[in-house]
Amino acid sequence: MIHNTIKHLPKLHQIILGVSGVLLILMIFWPSDEAEASRQVRAIELIPGMQYELPMPVFEPSAAIDDAVFEAENYITHKVSRGDTLAKIMSKHKQSPQTTYKLDNAGEYARTLRRIRPGDSVYLQINEAGQLVSLKYPLSNTETLMIKAQDTDFVSSIETKQVETSLNFAQGTIQSSFWNAGIAAGLTDSKIMQLAGIFGWDIDFAQEIRPGDSFNMAFEELYVDGEFIGYGDIVSAEFINQGDVFTAIKYTDGNYYTPEGRSMRKSFLRAPINFSHVSSNFNPKRFHPVQKRIKPHRGVDYVAPVGTPVMAAGNGKVIRSAYDRFNGHHVFIQHGERYQTKYLHFTRRAVKEGEWVKQGQVIGYLGSTGMVTGAHLHYEFLVDGVHRNPRTVELPKADPIDKKEKDKFLLIADKQMSLLENNKRIMLAMQ
């Protein structure tokens, strides 16, 4: 919102502006005249196939271990409390120290019992003579430590349950916001974030989502013994943003590709801020290109609460991390030889000059320092020293899938695309 500040400058400044306008305008609009000097920073290479982390919560299946199942098999449930040890548990259930000793020495797996955690459950099967017959200690939804009496000793093993995966579909059309549409489609918070994460290199979810945009996706549901234990990955998804269709298919390497086999992952994120923080996605005032009316505007403004984390749009080197009265706390990043990104008005900076940063890394926190009318992130994107619109600028093409994998991928993509299409037809018929 630097563009708004000229009007609000005090009288004295307006006079100076008249007298030595060029100089002041340079200071306001070209706050980074050191850019030239920093262009000889050496090229940064993205490592193909490397996972660049995004600040995206990954869903972990919840530990839904069912006491009732064990109790039905005549197991006694012992809830592990703070300070409980195997010895304490055994003595509580009237087992001899010898039994405890034998349990502890029941093989490699039994050592897990030395690290039992408060809140966990240990299940004990004790015969009519009061002797321990077996012990079960669930380690996860799918793995359970089993210790069974055998002659006068105990033997341990790990029981592994099969996780069954089934596909489910969701579809939504945006009316008020992407978040609301996701919730209405039955998605969890983390699924909504994952979906935005998959398309975060193509779509600015913070500002470019419009009513009428839509999504359609297939995702995994995980079951053990017929019981739902959690969600798996998004397998394929389509997002239509202002008429542009984006499609992503997950491959066996865990990455997402377009149906033609180009990586969804690119060298720059469309928005350096997580959409869920950006207020009023559909504020009509910001709906219309306010920025285009007030010229010249050299960046994109994201309005969000003070303290919202701001991410590096791409891998690069911090060439400036400083404070001045116009830009407030600001950070500039050089990406290879041609690209530079600038982030202004932080309340606090999180990186130092000379530091190398990765895409998605937090570099500062949104604020209202410098010449601003309110808290926001002012974001600029420069190509060969020229300001460009980060939402529409042509970016380097993403890496295609490995040649050796391409045929296999295309088969998967074909199948996924028809599943998505099929779901669309079904949902349409239901309306």
Residue 270 tokens read as 């469309």
**What binding mask, one character per residue, do residues 295-324 give for Zn ion by CB under 5 A, x or -?**
------x-----------------------
Shortest Å, Cβ 5 to Zn ion: 9
- Backbone φ, ψ for residue 303 (5° rounding): -95, 120
Measured from the CB atom, the residue of 293 and 352 that comes closer to Zn ion is: 293
Nearer to Zn ion, 277 or 406 (CB): 277
Name the residue nearer to Zn ion (CB basis): 202 or 301: 301
Q: Which two tokens stand for residue 68?
A: 């009732």
Indicate the residue whose CB is closest to Zn ion.
378
| Least spacing, CB of residue 1 vs Zn ion, in Å | 4
Max Cα–Cα distance, the chain, nearest Å: 101
| Shortest spacing between CB 7 and Zn ion, in angstroms | 14
Q: Exactly one of 270, 320, 378, 387 binds Zn ion (CB under 5 A); which one? A: 378
Using the minimum distance from each CB to Zn ion, give the nearer residue, 170 or 344. 344
Question: Of 192, 249, 212, 248, whose CA–CA distance to 56 is shortest?
Answer: 192
Tell me how far, at minimum, the Cβ of 297 lies from Zn ion, in Å.
6
Residue 100's region, left for phi above 0, alpha for psi from -120 to 50, else beta, is alpha
DSSP assignment of 94-108? T--HHHHHHHHTS-G
Minimum CB distance to Zn ion smaller for 31 or for 316: 31
3-class state of residue 407 by DSSP: helix
By beta-carbon proximity to Zn ion, the closer residue of 300 and 412 is 300
The yes or no reply on residue 387 touching Zn ion (CB under 5 A) is no
Cα gap 123→69, rounded to integer Å:
11
Residue 1 near Zn ion by CB under 5 A: yes
Cβ proximity to Zn ion: between 213 and 301 the closer is 301
> Of the candidates 308, 283, 273, which has an alpha carbon nearest to the alpha carbon of residue 200?
273
Q: How far apart are CA 242 and CA 210, in angstroms?
A: 7
Q: Using CB under 5 A as the criterion, what x/- string covers residues 336-375 for binding Zn ion?
A: ----------------------------------------
Q: How far is the CB of 35 from Zn ion (least distance, A)?
A: 17
Distance of CA 325 to the CA centre of its chain: 34
103 binds Zn ion (CB under 5 A): no
Write out the DSSP string of 301-358: EE---TT-EEE-SSSEEEEEEEEETTTEEEEEEEETTTEEEEEEEEEEE---TT-EE-
Question: What is the contact surface with Zn ion in residues (CB under 5 A)?
Answer: 1-2, 301, 378
